[in-house]
Amino acid sequence: MELTFLGATGTVTGSKYLLKSGNRQILIDCGLFQGLKQLRLRNWAKLPVNPAKIDTVILTHAHIDHSGYLPVLVKNGFLGRVYCSEGTADLCKIMLPDAAHLQEEEAEYANRRGFSKHHPALPLYTKEDAENALSLLTPVHFEQDIDLGDGLTFRLSPNGHILGSAFVRIHNQKTSVLFSGDIGRSNDILMRPPVRIKQADYLLIESTYGNRLHQNDDPKVKLTAIINKTVKRKGVVVIPVFAVGRAQELLYYIYLLKESGAIAADIPVYLNSPMAVDATEIFNLYHGEHRLSAEQCSALFSTAHVVNSIEQSKALNEAKGPMIILSASGMASGGRVVHHLKAFATNPKNTILFVGFQAAGTRGASMLDGAESIKIHGEYIPVRAHIELISNLSAHADYSEILNWLAGFESAPKKTFIVHGEPVAADAMRRHIEEKLHWQVVVPEYMQTVALA
């Protein structure tokens, strides 16, 4: 086997790994780069491998940094099967067309307002490209060995990050390689814990929080304080959320706070993300993967007023507080939340609350770093609102939780590769594993190729 790191090295985005075995070429994950401009430009560059020569794609999960490049791959000649779990397939059916819609919408807006350097501005891919990619999805069950031909098999195992998310273990009768994807948390309020894996010859492990520990305190306490302080100011709480995972978790927490009386039951809550609405409905179809009952799922869904149309979304920007708005995207890099930031970030009565990891170069990271203004649609918007972070709502395991999961291996892999982390976090994760488990660990470089004996 031979493995090439085509993404998620030195960054948490752009997850892509090319595995060659005999005459087979398999791409594990097919994600978009996000954040810093030099990373985003990779989405437009020619892929170092001919897409038509790739036999198969296997997705760990549906998040755009793991699946969002798929329409580009298909547009440029890929015709093979795209294997994934059933939950991932259902989520991709809403996420990929939505990603295409956002890109088409942003290109149209840039052309109409004239703030793009490109004439005309073009989307990376269209809804038609996304639909073509979806036609190749091949859902498979967890914990079943799937034959890829030429002696290669793979298996998906639940890893607890979001609905459908999986560890991918590939075996060629001699050597096994395990791709962690994004690892969930053992005590997540919604998702069941990641399953234990006992053996792999080679391991690729994520390191998003490789240098950090999540706080042990109950996130409901801080969430209550932030909401109540903002309500007292008659302000608006804007929460940029990932449409899959964080949106559902925040809705459930807000439901619990209202039920307990920790926050006023009459505070209006708006879910302004069509994709999050669809994802919440899908959530109700997969009770085996999460902890909520049908009744709890129903309560979660009824917590917020659903914002459907563009007109309703625009009207929210003119509304007065107090109110809570949940809107995608989670890093404030695009989507409807950008318009809400434009409307509400300028007022000190309001609060912008982040509840997930913010990649370098995103508006979310800038605001958390204390930026006095953020660039939206070609103009700089002053940031005067309160900026808050609840870090322990993340769907990623921290380094201690990852070490605990790694302790379930019966023997050390021949080599462990640290991926999906920014440089400091990845190196910290390397050090933790070396010191705690005494495994052989490597932090690979972008485009590096390694032989797997």
Residue 112's pLDDT is 78
Helix, strand, coil shares of the chain as percentages rounded to 5? 35, 20, 45
User: How far is Cα of residue 453 from the mean position of the Cα atoms in its chain?
Assistant: 32
Q: How far is CA 387 from CA 284, 343, 372, 382, in A?
A: 32, 15, 11, 13
Nearest Cα to Cα of residue 430 among 422, 440, 420: 440
- Tokens 């030099």 — which residue? 38
CA atoms of 241 and 31, how far apart (whole Å): 19
- pLDDT tens, the chain, 453 aa long: 999 999 999 999 999 999 999 999 999 999 999 988 899 999 999 999 999 999 999 999 999 999 999 999 999 999 999 999 999 999 999 999 989 988 898 888 778 776 667 778 889 999 999 999 999 999 999 999 999 999 999 999 999 999 999 999 999 989 999 999 999 999 999 999 999 999 999 999 999 999 999 988 899 999 999 999 999 999 999 999 988 888 999 999 999 999 999 999 999 999 998 888 899 889 889 988 999 998 898 888 889 999 989 899 999 999 998 999 999 888 888 889 999 999 999 999 999 999 988 888 889 999 999 999 999 988 999 999 999 999 888 889 999 999 999 999 999 999 999 999 999 999 999 999 999 999 999 999 999 999 998
CA atoms of 83 and 156, how far apart (whole Å): 10
Encoded amino acid at 385, one letter: A
- pTM summary value: 0.90
Residue 116's pLDDT is 65
The structure tokens listed for 403 are: 């070490």
Nearest Cα to Cα of residue 453 among 240, 213, 174, 246: 174
Residue pair 418/429 in contact by the 8 Å Cβ criterion: yes
Residue 389's pLDDT is 94
What's the Rg (C-alpha) of the chain? 21
CA atoms of 414 and 441, how far apart (whole Å): 9
DSSP string, 97-129: HHHHHHHHHHHHHHHHHT--SSSS---SS-HHH
Residue 301's pLDDT is 82
Q: Compute φ and ψ for 102, nearest 5 degrees.
A: -60, -40
Residue 245's pLDDT is 86
Residue pair 397/162 in contact by the 8 Å Cβ criterion: no
Q: How far is CA 77 from CA 49, 99, 129, in A?
A: 11, 20, 11
Residue 27's pLDDT is 98
Q: Is 166 exposed, middle or buried (0-12, 13-18, 19+ CB in 10 A)?
A: buried
Residue 246's pLDDT is 87
Residue pair 166/156 in contact by the 8 Å Cβ criterion: yes
Residue pair 345/382 in contact by the 8 Å Cβ criterion: yes
